Amino acid sequence: MIPKPIVPGVWEISLGFVNVFLLNTGRGLALIDTGVAGSAPAILEGVRALGKSPEEIRHVLVTHCHPDHAGSLAELKRLTGAAATMHSVDAELVRRGESIRPMTPAPGLVNALICRFMLPSVDPAIEAAEIEHEVEDGETLPMGLTAIHVPGHCAGQLAFLWPEQGGVLFAADAAANAFGLSLSPLYEDVKEGRRSLAKLADRSFEAACFGHGRVIGSGASARFRRRWPAVAGLKSAVERA
């Protein structure tokens, strides 16, 4: 598996229906998300394909507790020795080996079908893992990324903004870009999710990376603002989206 370069120092590792991302932060490698259980070999194969070793991964940043994002965290921690970082709300679940809270579909028939047929097959249990670092909204991590709390899809979800290369947003599942920039199919609270998207639209970033769907390589924040008007238009955006 050959990771796909996004901007200098950032690569996408596609695991099929979900993506994880590798960053060279200048202070060791950082991995954003871990895929479902059993994804560690594919992720580390990608790391080696770049001429790097698993031990160079110093940080694992987990955007939220869902099993397609936190499922391989425990295994990757064993294989790399990396420390894990999450928002405090979801960190408590992962420490207990839990990964799912009640969810409902976003508007639309396709989203309703996904919720009806996919959710019953999801195992809510994951291997429990220790989370060494809990971060809150607006904190800047030692490797230079800013954590942005974006609840809605998941109460403890974080996005990460890397200021290099014009700004790279790791949006997690705050939005998707599989069939165009859109809401994610599933939410704990879709109104809260829309507020989070308006919050992201108020930031400046050239590229945007998603847990599900294609990277937007340029002009990403402008596309977010067109889809979800930023803070000045927050009320109308929540009512309209």
In this predicted model, what pLDDT tens digit does every residue of 126-182 receive, in sequence order?
999 999 999 999 999 999 999 999 999 999 999 999 999 999 999 999 999 998 999
Structure token pair of residue 155: 């109460």
In 3D, which of 53, 57, 12, 60 has the Cα closest to residue 32? Answer: 60
pLDDT digits (tens, 9 = 90+) for 171-225: 999 999 998 999 999 999 999 999 999 999 999 999 999 999 999 999 999 999 9
Q: Give the pLDDT score at 236.
A: 47
* Gap between the Cα atoms of 225 and 205, Å rounded: 11
- Backbone dihedral angles phi then psi of residue 141, each to the nearest 5 degrees: -80, 160
The residue to which tokens 């420390």 are assigned: 83
Do the bridges between strand 207-209 and strand 168-170 make them parallel or antiparallel, or are there none, so unpaired? Answer: parallel
Q: Which residue has the higher pLDDT, 73 or 105?
A: 73
pLDDT band at 232 (very low <50, low <70, confident <90, very high): very low
Is this prediction's pTM over 0.85?
Answer: yes
Q: What percent of the chain has pLDDT over 90?
A: 81
CA distance 3 to 12: 5
| Cα distance between residue 221 and residue 225, in whole Å | 6
Mean pLDDT (the chain) is: 92
The residue ranking higher by pLDDT, 195 or 236, is 195
- Tell me the pLDDT band of 108, cut-offs 50, 70 and 90: confident
Going by C-alpha positions, the residue among 152, 173, 159, 162 that lies closest to residue 68 is 173
- Residue 104's pLDDT is what? 86
